[in-house]
Homo-oligomer: A and B are copies of this chain.
Amino acid sequence: MVEVICTVDVVLLTIRDDTLMTALIEREHAPFAGQYALPGGYIHAEEDADVHASAMRVIAGKAGIVPPYLEQLATLSGPGRDPRGWSLSIAHYALVPCEIIENAVGSQVHLLPVDRLPALPFDHARIIGMAADRLRNKSQYSSLPCFLAGDTFTLPQLQRIYEIVLGEKLNKVSFRRKVTEMDMLEPVEGCFESAGAHRPAQLYALKSSSRSKLMLLERGL
């Protein structure tokens, strides 16, 4: 039986400069050595508990971080996507606040806007498109974008994150109604963020229950 090449790839998504960005690394080895590409690598059957663990290991190795959210996206396959032979990549996407990427030690990543990418090897452009689509779709009815925010944030900041991900302005009153409905935040008592000559905003943190599971809405935003 012809051997199948088994790999994982990870689309690390973050927001910087009010823009959705993805982490790319310069490939060290052939094929496509020297080109920007998604962090990825072979599945190590002798050490990985499953492909989720493979993806975590790859991110830790290449970006030096442990992302707060990691989900499987799809499995891409076929004889033509990798010049080494019939290959299969279990694509994942991860969400992470950009400070964590920038503070990581030994990180080799470069952040680039998802909608202004250079030509990429393999089917990585398509995988990034799928990741952005999945994020956009799930953000319509869930607390998913919270994983792009830091430990604490204000409601206006969170709304801005949703707007960047969804690509549209949101109604402030409706947004706050929905956030309340999802019941995922708790105010950090007595903590406010002052950002100029105006009333400061209440800081919030994710409830611990919402750090491990997504909160969903019956009807979208």
Segment at the B interface, from A2-10, A97-105, A179-187, A203-211 = A2-10
Check: A150 CB closer than 8 A to any chain B CB. no
Q: Which residues of A contact B (CB under 8 A)?
A: 1-4, 6, 42-46, 49-51, 72, 74-79, 85-86, 88, 90, 219-220
Main SS class of interface, A: loop
The answer for the CA separation of A45 and B85 in the assembled complex, in Å, is 9
Knowing A4-B6, A6-B4, A74-B72 touch, does A45 contact B90 (C-beta < 8 A)?
no
Docked-complex contact B45 and A3, CB < 8 angstroms: yes
In the complex, what's the smallest C-beta–C-beta distance from A181 to chain B, in angstroms? 15
Asked if A86 meets B45 with Cβ closer than 8 Å, knowing A51-B75, A51-B77, the reply is: yes
CB–CB A49/B79 < 8 A: yes
Cα–Cα, bound, A4→B2 (Å)? 12
Contact A4:B219 (CB < 8 A) given known A75-B72, A77-B50: no
A75 touches B49 (CB 8 A): no
Determine how close the nearest CB of chain B comes to the CB of A51; give it in whole angstroms: 5
Which partner residue on chain B sits nearest A74 by CB separation? B72
Do A45 and B6 contact each other (CB < 8 Å), given the known contacts A72-B74, A219-B219? Answer: no
What are 26 A-B interface contacts by the 8 Å CB criterion?
A1-B45, A2-B45, A2-B46, A3-B3, A3-B45, A4-B4, A4-B45, A6-B6, A6-B88, A43-B77, A43-B88, A45-B85, A45-B86, A49-B78, A50-B77, A50-B78, A51-B75, A51-B77, A51-B88, A72-B74, A72-B75, A75-B75, A75-B90, A88-B90, A219-B219, A219-B220
Please give, as numbers and ranges, the residues of chain B lying within 8 Å of A74 by CB-CB distance: 72
Query: Considering the complex of A and B, which 6 residue pairs feature the smallest CB-CB distances, nearest first?
Result: A45-B86, A2-B45, A50-B78, A51-B77, A50-B77, A4-B6
Q: Give Cα distance in the complex from A62 to B75, angstroms.
A: 23
